[in-house]
Structures are given as C-alpha cells and as structure tokens.
Structure 1
C-alpha cells in the first residue's frame, strides 16, 4: 500500500513543461517574435532560429514579445544575450516586451535589463 501512496503523490507533483511556441511577424520593418510557453534547454532552439540575424535582413530590429512566456532558464537567458550580441554586431537591436513580473524579475537578477531594453508593452517597444 505504501508504494501506491508514493506513486499517487509523485503523480500529483509531476510537471509537464509547456511547449514553446514562436511566431514571427513584421510590423513597420521591425520583426516581432512572439514567444509562448517555457524557454528552457529543451525549447530554446526554436527561439534561436527566430532570432538569427542572417534571416532578418540588413540592420535587423527585433522585439521579443514575452507576454505569454511562463518560465525562462539559463538557456533562454543565453539565447537572448547571444541575440543581442549578434543583432548589435549587424547594426540592429533587440528589445523585450511584456514580460510577466516573474520573468522580468529573472531578467533583472541576471542583468539583461541593463543590456537589452525591457519595455512594459509591445507599443512601448515599437516606439522606444
């Protein structure tokens, strides 16, 4: 009986990660990458592809709309830092928008907000 009780308890605490959805659109010559779900080791590749400056034209300007991002780990942080570096080297820029309080706090703890503008809304990011 004890074994069944442990199994049931473990099942209650199992966490299924949210798949990361990434959609790119262009608005006034600015690429808006909308991410939804968790940005972690298993999903960061999707974001890497969307932020590749090689496919974004000359002087790539990119906003990552993070309104529906529920979690970001060090893999996601590294993707954002590399994108900032690569976009800046291509004479472009990166801005982040709509991060939840939890995600924004993570970005602040590691200092990304000192390198990459973190805007409260997509509108603010588009006009900054």
Structure 2
C-alpha cells in the first residue's frame, strides 16, 4: 500500500482519541488556522499538521512508550524540515482535552509572536 493510500485509510479509521482532538482542530476552530489530519510527509504520516504554522501534533498511545528512539528520529526528521513537533499521550487528550488545547493555543501564540518555541513539550503531566 502506498503512503497516500495508507494516509487515506488512517483518516477513515481514526482512533477515538484522534477523533476527539480532530473535532477541536477542524474547521479552523483554533485561531482560524487550518489543520489537516493523517497527512503524509514521506516517509511518515503525521497525525495533525498546520502548514501555515509549520506545526505538527502527534498523539502517542501506550505502544509508543517503547518507541522513544523511533519517535525521536521522526521528530528530528520533521524538525529538520522546518516543522515544530508537539506530542501528547492519548490519555492526556481523553482526560484533559481542555488542557491539551490550552497548550496548543499557547504554542500557536508563541509562533505568531516569534517566541522561541523550539522543542515544545506538550506533555501535561511531566512523564514524557
């Protein structure tokens, strides 16, 4: 399966957590910025992306706890292409979606005002 077909399949089969965050990001709901979901940036498919901000939001489930090296490589690859990557655990989105959105809003404000937003830490509980 090619990357475009895989991205299309992922969009059709979103997890509950992805659906929850997508409801908040879609239709320019956050500061009128357009986000896309399950977007291919070869060789990866990112969960959410805003091209205007060069911002990528990734959601990590329990299986990602064992993939720290992979996630770090992936983030570095994307950052080297000019993107800012922020990651949240799935349980952060389900248990504190308002807090997650507040972190995203603050990051966007920082980008808009040219503040140093290198390597944002989206983790709300400090365990990441």
Q: How high is the TM-score relative to the length of structure 1?
A: 0.32
Larger of the two Rg values belongs to structure: 1
Q: If each structure's strand is expressed as a fraction of its own residues, which one has the higher value?
A: 1
Q: How high is the TM-score relative to the length of structure 2?
A: 0.32
